[in-house]
């Protein structure tokens, strides 16, 4: 089969690799579409290797048709349309995926939209709900919100009944997020805490989903209400930050780091099940929708990167 070669360095190319075989508890997919994530870019640069034992082929999410099921698989059968969360191997013509990391594709959703959902959707769900504990009536700030994860996180937070604030370097790029459920647009920068407090009546937000990191982390902590939570998801602005620990103590703040890719298959399966229960009905009726930036044929993979 054709796949993105893991040794492609910064300029990806396609090559022939052996077809995967489904082990016990796994499903073999005929991949119709796969998404491109920032993690894939980092992997090809040697900065984000796959977990031990996982496929070295890039691609964390894909969608397609079940070709074959391994021993012990009970929820899916050949011919089913599914979307898959994978720790690697999505950018290939076929992929072997643990059964617990698959979700059925609603009838109204095509493969292109479905392929953009598992990694982005699960990342948003994991950090807003499983780690962040977001509840109806609370307010949440999502930084770097114009990203694929960010656009889905805005929709999830809206469906959870939260007030959604979004932050980014360009307010113009954030403007379309109003249609997805954002009520306030905030510019990343030194004035972020003041902007957030102005938008929340001086209180601050109960949760920050922090994808910028770096110099923005202390500002996001300052934007939290007392007993607020910050879930650190990304490091777009850097790995280092200087934090006022006195603020953390005085306001009893909580900071949690979170990565989806390196979690165990069992933990991923539990998250996929919880996410599916909440999201699939909303995907079926259009309340939730993946945002696809561009669609390219597989042989133009270098252009995608």
On whether the CB atoms of residues 25 and 286 are closer than 8 A, the answer is no
- 220: tokens are 């996001």
- What pLDDT shows up at residue 10? 66
User: Do residues 75 and 188 share a domain?
Assistant: no
- Identify the CA nearest to 240 among candidates 217, 224, 257, 222: 217
Q: What is the mean pLDDT of the chain?
A: 95
Q: What is the mean pLDDT of residues 258-284?
A: 96
On whether the CB atoms of residues 230 and 221 are closer than 8 A, the answer is yes
- For the ranges 27-31, 37-41, 108-112, the lowest mean pLDDT is seen at 37-41
Render 27-47 in DSSP notation, one character per residue.
EEEEEEEE---HHHHHHHTTS
- Of all residues in the chain, the percent with pLDDT exceeding 70 is 99
Q: 176-205 in b/e burial notation, b at 16+ Cβ within 10 A? A: ebeebbbebbbebeeebbebbbebbeeebb
pLDDT digits over 215-270, tens only? Answer: 999 999 999 999 999 999 988 878 898 999 999 999 999 999 999 998 999 999 99
pLDDT band at 114 (very low <50, low <70, confident <90, very high): very high
**Does residue 8 carry a pLDDT above 70?**
no
Q: What is the mean pLDDT of residues 157-169?
A: 97
97 assigned to some structural domain: yes
Q: What is the CA radius of gyration of the chain?
A: 19
User: Do residues 243 and 173 share a domain?
Assistant: yes
Q: Which residue has the tokens 């499983």?
A: 130
- What pLDDT shows up at residue 238? 83
User: Do residues 163 and 245 share a domain?
Assistant: yes
Q: What is the mean pLDDT of residues 80-106?
A: 98
- What pLDDT shows up at residue 172? 94
**Does residue 203 carry a pLDDT above 80?**
yes
CA distance 261 to 18: 24
On whether the CB atoms of residues 102 and 77 are closer than 8 A, the answer is no
Task: State how many domains the chain has.
Answer: 2
User: Do residues 92 and 191 share a domain?
Assistant: no
pLDDT digits over 118-145, tens only? Answer: 999 999 999 999 999 999 999 999 999 9
**Does residue 12 carry a pLDDT above 80?**
yes
On whether the CB atoms of residues 70 and 239 are closer than 8 A, the answer is no
- Of all residues in the chain, the percent with pLDDT exceeding 90 is 86
123 assigned to some structural domain: no
Distance of CA 138 to the CA centre of its chain: 21
User: Do residues 113 and 145 share a domain?
Assistant: no
Length of the chain: 305
176 assigned to some structural domain: yes
124 assigned to some structural domain: no
Distance of CA 77 to the CA centre of its chain: 27
Q: Which residue has the tokens 């001086």?
A: 202
pLDDT band at 146 (very low <50, low <70, confident <90, very high): very high
pLDDT band at 115 (very low <50, low <70, confident <90, very high): very high
User: Do residues 165 and 104 share a domain?
Assistant: no
User: Do residues 103 and 136 share a domain?
Assistant: no
- Identify the CA nearest to 124 among candidates 96, 144, 107: 144
CATH of the domain at 154: 3.90.180.10
289 assigned to some structural domain: no
- What pLDDT shows up at residue 142? 98
CA distance 278 to 264: 22
pTM here is 0.93
User: Do residues 187 and 84 share a domain?
Assistant: no
Structural domain boundaries enclosing 95: 2-117+294-304
Q: What is the mean pLDDT of residues 72-78?
A: 98
CA distance 67 to 54: 20
The residues, any chain, with a CB within 8 Å of residue 156's CB and separated by 6 or more, are 121, 124, 125, 128, 129, 279, 288
Q: What is the mean pLDDT of residues 83-104?
A: 98
User: Do residues 80 and 147 share a domain?
Assistant: no
User: Do residues 17 and 113 share a domain?
Assistant: yes
- 45: tokens are 């640069």
- What pLDDT shows up at residue 305? 86
CA distance 303 to 305: 5
User: Do residues 151 and 237 share a domain?
Assistant: yes
SS3 215: coil
**Does residue 9 carry a pLDDT above 70?**
no
């Amino acid at each position: 089969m054709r796949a993105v070669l893991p040794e492609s360095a910064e300029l990806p190319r396609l090559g022939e690799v052996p077809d995967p075989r489904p082990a016990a508890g796994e499903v073999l997919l005929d991949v119709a579409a796969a998404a491109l994530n920032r993690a894939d870019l980092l992997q090809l640069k040697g900065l984000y290797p796959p977990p031990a034992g996982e496929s070295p082929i890039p691609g964390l999410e894909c969608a397609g048709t079940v070709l074959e099921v391994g021993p012990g698989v009970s929820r899916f059968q050949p011919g089913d349309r599914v979307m898959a969360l994978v720790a690697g191997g999505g950018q290939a013509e076929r992929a072997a995926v643990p059964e617990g990391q698959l979700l059925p594709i609603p009838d109204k959703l095509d493969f292109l939209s479905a392929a953009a959902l598992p990694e982005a959707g699960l990342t948003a769900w994991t950090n807003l709900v499983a780690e962040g504990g977001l509840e109806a009536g609370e307010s949440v700030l999502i930084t770097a919100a114009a990203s694929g994860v960010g656009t889905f996180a805005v929709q999830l937070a809206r469906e959870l009944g939260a007030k959604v604030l979004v932050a980014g370097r360009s307010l113009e790029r954030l403007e379309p997020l109003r249609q997805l459920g954002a009520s306030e647009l905030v510019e990343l920068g030194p004035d972020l805490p003041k902007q957030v407090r102005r938008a929340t009546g001086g209180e601050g937000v109960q949760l920050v989903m922090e994808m910028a990191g770096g110099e923005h982390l202390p500002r996001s902590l300052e934007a939290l209400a007392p007993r607020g939570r910050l879930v650190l998801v990304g490091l777009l602005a850097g790995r280092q930050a200087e934090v006022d620990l006195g603020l953390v103590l005085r306001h009893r703040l909580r900071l949690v780091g979170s990565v989806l890719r390196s979690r165990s298959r069992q933990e991923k399966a539990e998250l996929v099940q919880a996410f599916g229960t909440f999201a699939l009905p909303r995907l079926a009726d259009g309340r939730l929708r993946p945002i696809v930036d561009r669609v390219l044929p597989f042989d133009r993979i270098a252009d995608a990167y």
